[in-house]
Amino acid sequence: MCGRFTIAFDLADLSDELGLSEIPLNWEPRYNVAPGQPVLAATDAVSRKAEWLRWGLIPSWAKDPAIGYKLINARAETLTEKPSFRQAFQKRRCLIFADGFYEWQKPAFGKGKTQPYYFKRKDGRPFAFAGLWEIWQPDGEVEPIKTCTIITTSANEVVSPVHERMPVMLLKEDAWNWVKGGQGVELPRLLAPFNPALMETYPVGPYVSKPGYEAAICRSNIEP
């Protein structure tokens, strides 16, 4: 699964890498994005505007918004089967912007502490997670909430020593094809593991395990 990530890139790099037309003015670098928090995303391949969505998908039919904490990820292999994701997969695909993510390696033989690792592109540039989005509004008196989930796939050679799953990572052309879909776009092809030759990883300290702790040290390499 993907339960933490970073959006600590330079805004000019994000605009250049993903071709965004507009980014919210209240943006600031974040080093430990957690479920339930705002994430920078885009839902429209025409306008290409970035906006804030809440991480943790709340289906339109849900009665309790707490379900969003259980739907922070969606498995690529079962998008067409799960009621929570099926309609969004057909009509509401999005991009969630990041420049790295964390996964925790379980201790050998089930004893000891888990070790967090940070994963990113070798060149340090930003990218997009493939995602789905929904609008949740329980009644007309409550402001509608736009929420999202990150799609995961099988881990590539870089991630697999730490975790069996990884988020779907997309670069510019594939990213916007994912959002717009349409004739000639093979959506399942876009949900493949990212090219391992373009990624790197290293262990980080325990700070990232604390939701709400946002210092840059969260992603600092602790290797000697």
CATH architecture entry for 4-219: Alpha-Beta Complex (3.90)
pLDDT in tens, 172-221: 889 999 999 876 568 888 999 999 999 999 999 999 999 889 999 999 99
pLDDT in tens, 44-89: 999 999 999 999 999 999 988 899 999 999 999 999 999 999 999 9
pLDDT score at 23: 87
Considering the chain, what percentage of its residues have pLDDT values greater than 90?
Answer: 76
> Is 80 exceeded by the pLDDT of residue 16?
yes
Q: Of the residues 103, 134, 148, 218, which is catalytic?
A: 103
Classify strands 145-154 and 73-75 as parallel, antiparallel or unpaired.
Answer: parallel
Q: Which of 219, 170, 222, 220 is nearest to 33 (CA)?
A: 219
Distance CA 88, CA 71 (A): 13
2 is catalytic: yes
Angle at 40 (CA atoms; ends 35, 41), nearest 5 degrees: 105
Distance CA 172, CA 184 (A): 17
pLDDT score at 140: 67
Q: Of the residues 2, 94, 148, 218, which is catalytic?
A: 2
pLDDT in tens, 204-216: 999 999 988 999 9
